[in-house]
Amino acid sequence: MRLAKYLATAGVASRRASEETVRAGRVTVDGETITDPARDVGPDDAVAVDGKPVTHGRIERVVYALNKPAGVVSTARDPQGRPTVVTMVPQTERLYPVGRLDIDTTGLILLTNEGDLAHRLTHPSFEVAKTYRAVISGPPVREPELQALRDGVDLDDGRTAPAQVRRLSADTIEITIHEGRKRQVKRMCEAVGHPVKLLERVAFGPLQLGDLPRGRWRKLTAAEVEALVAWAGGRTAGRA
């Protein structure tokens, strides 16, 4: 197993943060400082971060669903001291947000103690669907504009992949995308002449926001976690 993945599946940090930790020279393998995140390690290797041994045992995979309010940032820590999604759920284990929502975007965000699962759920190659409900400016949104969103629109970082789009009312649409570009839904709607006024994520993969109140969280059931793992491309780190 690659060193960065080893650290992520051990719960040290997310895959990306684990790579940065390795490159910073904070990780040793059998007493030797390693700076290559792709270095292979096995079960008999002694891995340590900042001198502390890393235990790679089987632990319970935990996933929380949170209905994020506006004004909360989707990171583990915020240098500006703003509230984060991680502070809104119990701190019985180290948690990582699964992807991000803009500070003014509300709705479903997941948090997990397994960095590898978080990576799979957010990496574009796994194409995990995310559904948003957007209240737009300049209603009504018409069929040609809906079709443009379905076909893909040209943004400054390239053309978007086809999306599933339906109109809920004159000023509200529901859109499902499989990409994870920054502010993608907002930029797509703006590209067809309807800037977003309010945006809420209502589904992530097989999970629905449902009637979970704003600012509240719930721990996913074992069946829901397994469904999520299946959407993330099958088995992750082999956690029970």
Active site residues: 102
Strand order across the beta sheet in which 32-34 lies: 32-34, 27-29, 47-49, 52-53
Dihedral angle computed from the Cα positions of residues 34, 40, 41 and 43, in that order, rounded to the nearest 10 degrees: 180
Categorise residue 117: left if φ over 0, alpha if ψ from -120 to 50, beta otherwise. Answer: alpha
CA 239, chain centre distance (Å): 19
3 state SS for 227-239: HHHHHCCCCCCCC
- The DSSP line for 186-220 is HHHHHHTT--EEEEEEEEETTEE-TTPPTT-EEEP
Q: Between 115-122 and 15-23, two packed helices, what is the crossing angle to 10 degrees? A: 110
Residue 13 φ/ψ, nearest 5 degrees: -170, 175
CA 200, chain centre distance (Å): 15
